[in-house]
Structure 1
Amino acid sequence: MTAANGWTPVALSASIEAGTSAGTQIDGFEIVVWRDNSGKAHVWEDRCPHRGMRMSFGFVRGDHIACLYHGWQYDTGGQCRYIPAHPDLEVPATIKIPSYAVTERGGVIWTSLKETADALALPVVSDDVTPIRSLYIDRSIEAIAPLLACLPVDGADVTVELLSSGAVLFTSGAVKLLIAGQAIPPEKCALHIAAIGAVDASTRKQIAKWAENARRMIEAAPVAPIAKVA
């Protein structure tokens, strides 16, 4: 479950609402994931070029995001467009935040940490999904993949199908999940989990409970695969 040809999942689509931002990491590299007010997602380096403040601490206004420290505003391409202390200044083109390719698929926001990338490299999965949660685990992404097959939902048989190098299709009984893995710093990762299709509130609660139990079992597991648990 490593990045799919450079694409890495960074959040569930539903967790980043229009006009909001959130900071996260890819292998220790800090990024900000944000949506402008039209609903389009963006992924940038999480640093204002002025004094290094994290842009994820800032605020979104329309199609701009502003740094919390001095209010410098950046457009959706990362270009600084307005400096409150110098309102009449034509901002130099060199004041720009690195921005990266971003797309949404299967209810997940993906980035490639470069300006353009081939979306055909992303996993083929329906966009008819129900977001469950992003699960943060104190284990490496490499250690988790072989353990998923040992974590059934209510004792049902498990199959784990590799959709791409960044995601798997987890099936246990009637439960079918897209699980997209994000490496954060060493020995930490996030699993962004969405149920395929619409699920009712009871099933969603069941899956969320399974996910929390899976986190505990994975973190407690020895290096060798663990035995099946109900």
Structure 2
Amino acid sequence: MDEPDGWYAVALGADIEPSTSAGTRLFGHELVVWRDAAGAVHVWEDRCPHRGMRLSFGFVRGDHIACLYHGWRYDAAGQCRFIPAHPDLDVSPMIRTRTYPCRERAGLIWVRWGAPADAPETAPDAAEAVPVSPLRSLYLDAPAARLAVALGGAGSDGLTRIDLDGSSVLVAVQPLAAEASAAHIVVPVPPDAPAADLARLAAACVALRRSIEGAVP
């Protein structure tokens, strides 16, 4: 599976509340998306370096995330800071997890994949000024390429504008694995958009998913 460099949306920002985490995938790689108590977002490899337990199964306290298995605690930079079985241990700086550059723009959490942290930040920066309301994330049994074709191609900022039940929405495609993808959908309207309109569009999303999954590859 090709893994093109770039920024990829991996979650709706509204779905990751402060002090929570969630697991996801990008090109088959397991990731944890978490938000600390202050609201900052983080995207890491979803694996505790100790025994390989998924960090997304753990818990967030302040600006640390802890593994559910043995409680190893990691700071916002991915460095292990505390091991409950050895509370007085000065933890080695070698014990750390892999982290990825991430940003929150246009109601979406983006991760930079396959490039150094100082690479251009075109996708999230281009989307920054768009006022949006989160709609929903669709998870499809279809490759990202098929999803992108069905949507008419991706925009230069990583977002595709489509018509959904008479309303314009923005879609970001996440390649989960070879035969699975996600579409994170936001509506370019103020966050206080009428609930009835958002509910109507959410229902239309289900029909969109079914039509894409049922399309001939």
The TM-score with structure 2 as length reference comes to: 0.90
Alignment RMSD, CA only? 2.0
Opposite residue 80 of structure 1, the aligned amino acid is C
Distance in structure 1 (CA, Å) of the matches to 2:146 and 2:154? 15
Q: Which residue of 2 aligns with 1:140?
A: 143
- 3-state SS of 1:14 partner: helix
Q: Which residue of 1 aligns with 2:124?
A: 122
Q: Which residue of 1 aligns with 2:134?
A: 131
Question: Structure 1 residues 170 and 6 mapped into 2: Cα distance closer, same or farther (>3 Å)?
Answer: same
Distance in structure 2 (CA, Å) of the matches to 1:53 and 1:19? 19
Contact 1:141 1:188 survives alignment (8 Å) = yes
Opposite residue 190 of structure 1, the aligned amino acid is A
Question: What is the aligned-residue identity percentage?
Answer: 47
Matched, 1:104 2:104: yes
Distance in structure 1 (CA, Å) of the matches to 2:110 and 2:149? 23
Distance in structure 2 (CA, Å) of the matches to 1:3 and 1:23? 19
Opposite residue 91 of structure 2, the aligned amino acid is V
Contact 2:59 2:66 survives alignment (8 Å) = yes
Contact 2:139 2:182 survives alignment (8 Å) = yes
Contact 2:123 2:158 survives alignment (8 Å) = no
Q: Which residue of 1 aligns with 2:158?
A: 166
- The Cα shift of 1:120 comes to 2.5
- The Cα shift of 1:187 comes to 1.1
- The Cα shift of 1:164 comes to 2.1
Contact 1:141 1:181 survives alignment (8 Å) = yes
Question: Structure 1 residues 173 and 191 mapped into 2: Cα distance closer, same or farther (>3 Å)?
Answer: closer
Alignment length (residue pairs): 211
86-95 vs 193-202, which moves further: 193-202
- 3-state SS of 1:91 partner: coil
Matched, 1:189 2:181: yes
Opposite residue 214 of structure 1, the aligned amino acid is L
- The Cα shift of 1:166 comes to 3.0
Distance in structure 1 (CA, Å) of the matches to 2:121 and 2:7? 9
Q: Superposition pairs for residues 16-165 of structure 1, below 5 Å?
A: 16-113=16-113, 116=117, 117-122=119-124, 124-125=126-127, 126-148=129-151, 162-164=154-156
Question: Structure 1 residues 132 and 173 mapped into 2: Cα distance closer, same or farther (>3 Å)?
Answer: closer
- 3-state SS of 2:95 partner: coil
Distance in structure 2 (CA, Å) of the matches to 1:25 and 1:9? 11
Contact 1:123 1:167 survives alignment (8 Å) = no
Opposite residue 124 of structure 1, the aligned amino acid is A
The TM-score with structure 1 as length reference comes to: 0.85
Distance in structure 1 (CA, Å) of the matches to 2:17 and 2:202? 21
Unaligned runs of 5+ in 1: 149-159, 224-230
- 3-state SS of 1:146 partner: helix
Contact 2:122 2:157 survives alignment (8 Å) = no
- The Cα shift of 1:172 comes to 5.0
Q: Which has the larger radius of gyration?
A: 1
- 3-state SS of 1:122 partner: helix
Over 3 Å off, 4+ runs: 2-5, 171-174
Unaligned runs of 5+ in 2: none
Contact 2:3 2:27 survives alignment (8 Å) = no
73-82 vs 205-214, which moves further: 205-214
